[in-house]
């Protein structure tokens, strides 16, 4: 991986393009080659694997993924960065350029991609939309079997949290619908430009069979209602979904869940049992 971008190369490339990272796009570019090597290693990719990268920015991680043998489809919302990424790869690693496809699009709404179906997601996700982007990709691409994402440390903890944890919430339960996740490391703020105000964390996840044969949207509706006011007991929190607190309590009893429980104590299988009781 001798062609990875370092701090000087990242700043020079950004200056040439007139790029100033923006908070609105959640842009914080990794400029440390050792961090890139760590991400690629911990992603546990196989040779020739089809990888979906979101927010490639100036290309630091893209180059690392290509050097590791991946076939990369990169989704970039910024048209300047999307146009420049193939140029950067051709310049720094011309022998790898034919394994890169770039899609200029918003990862929050992407539903289809050119080339082979991705089997892995590896990305330094935009800080401000990391959770909805990850959940959208898992919903849109059933082919994705595993992945590794770099997110704010607080978000990493939330994504990997177990029921009963102080930070367990809707993102934790929704990601658990797809499969297990765990935080596997912390990344210093010093490896980013601009330097963010928080540390970051790496979350590795894998896809398993859904915990129940029920429409995902119904389960997610229950999760959202349960955590909308997380201190409420479920019979009150779910009253709107079931028509009344009395109906919600009856549904919870049928699902084997205490009506006085709170959402933060339930795993995704319990949410699925409750969703199976929804009317209609």
pLDDT grade, residue 2 (50/70/90)?
Answer: very low
Q: Are residues 42 and 148 in the same domain?
A: yes
Residue 111: what pLDDT?
Answer: 95
pLDDT grade, residue 256 (50/70/90)?
Answer: very high
Q: Is residue 211 part of a domain?
A: no
Per-residue pLDDT at 128 exceeds 90: no
Domain final residue, candidates 206, 237, 252: 206
User: Which CATH number characterizes residue 156's domain?
Assistant: 3.40.50.150
Per-residue pLDDT at 64 exceeds 90: yes
Q: Are residues 50 and 95 in the same domain?
A: yes
Q: Is residue 235 part of a domain?
A: yes
Domain final residue, candidates 206, 241, 257: 206
Q: Are 230 and 261 in contact (CB under 8 A)?
A: no
Residue with tokens 């970051």: 200
Residue 24: what pLDDT?
Answer: 66
pLDDT by residue (tens digit) across 159-178?
999 999 999 999 999 999 99
Q: Are residues 104 and 178 in the same domain?
A: yes
Domain count, the chain: 2
Reduce the DSSP state of residue 38 to 3 states and report it: helix
Q: Are residues 145 and 61 in the same domain?
A: yes
Per-residue pLDDT at 280 exceeds 60: yes
Average pLDDT, the chain: 95
Phi, psi (deg, nearest 5) at residue 207: -95, 135
pLDDT (average), residues 73-86:
96
DSSP string, 158-186: HHHPPTTSTT--HHHHHHHHH--EEEEEE
pLDDT by residue (tens digit) across 213-236?
999 999 999 999 999 988 899 999
Residue 1: what pLDDT?
Answer: 43
Q: Are 186 and 201 in contact (CB under 8 A)?
A: yes
Q: Are residues 43 and 104 in the same domain?
A: yes
Q: Are residues 222 and 186 in the same domain?
A: no
pLDDT (average), residues 186-207:
95
Domain with 250 in it: 216-275
Q: Which candidate, 251, 246, 181, places its Cα nearest to that of 222? A: 251
Q: Is residue 251 part of a domain?
A: yes
Per-residue pLDDT at 112 exceeds 60: yes
Percent of the chain with pLDDT over 90: 89
Residue with tokens 């009344």: 244
Cα dist from 75 to 94, 102, 137, 220, 227, whole Å: 20, 6, 11, 26, 31
Q: Are residues 163 and 257 in the same domain?
A: no
Q: Are 123 and 150 in contact (CB under 8 A)?
A: yes
Q: Is residue 2 part of a domain?
A: no
User: Which CATH number characterizes residue 264's domain?
Assistant: 1.10.8.100
pLDDT by residue (tens digit) across 22-53?
766 667 899 999 999 999 999 999 999 999 99
């Amino acid at each position: 991986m001798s062609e990875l971008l370092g701090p000087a190369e990242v700043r020079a490339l950004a200056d040439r393009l007139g790029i100033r990272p923006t908070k609105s796009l959640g842009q914080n570019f990794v400029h440390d080659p050792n961090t890139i090597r760590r991400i690629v290693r911990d992603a546990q990719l196989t040779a020739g694997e089809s990888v979906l990268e979101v927010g490639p920015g100036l290309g630091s991680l893209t180059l690392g993924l290509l050097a590791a043998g991946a076939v990369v489809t990169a989704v970039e919302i910024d048209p300047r960065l999307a146009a420049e990424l193939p140029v950067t790869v051709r310049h720094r690693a011309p022998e790898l350029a034919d394994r890169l496809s770039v899609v200029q699009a918003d990862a929050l709404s992407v539903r289809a991609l050119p080339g082979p179906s991705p089997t892995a997601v590896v990305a330094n996700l935009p800080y401000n939309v990391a959770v909805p982007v990850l959940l959208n990709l898992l919903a849109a691409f059933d082919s994705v079997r595993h992945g590794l994402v770099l997110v704010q440390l607080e978000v990493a903890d939330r994504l990997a949290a177990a029921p009963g944890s102080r930070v367990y919430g809707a993102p934790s339960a929704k990601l658990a619908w797809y499969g297990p996740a765990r935080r596997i490391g912390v990344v210093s703020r010093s490896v980013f430009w601009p330097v963010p105000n928080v540390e970051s964390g790496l979350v590795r996840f894998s896809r398993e069979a859904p915990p129940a044969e029920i429409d995902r949207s119904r389960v997610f509706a229950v999760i959202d209602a349960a955590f909308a006011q997380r201190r409420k007991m479920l019979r009150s929190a779910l009253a709107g979904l079931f028509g009344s607190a009395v109906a919600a309590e009856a549904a919870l009893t049928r699902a084997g869940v205490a009506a006085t429980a709170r959402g933060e104590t339930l795993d995704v299988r319990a949410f699925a049992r409750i969703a199976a009781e929804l009317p209609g």
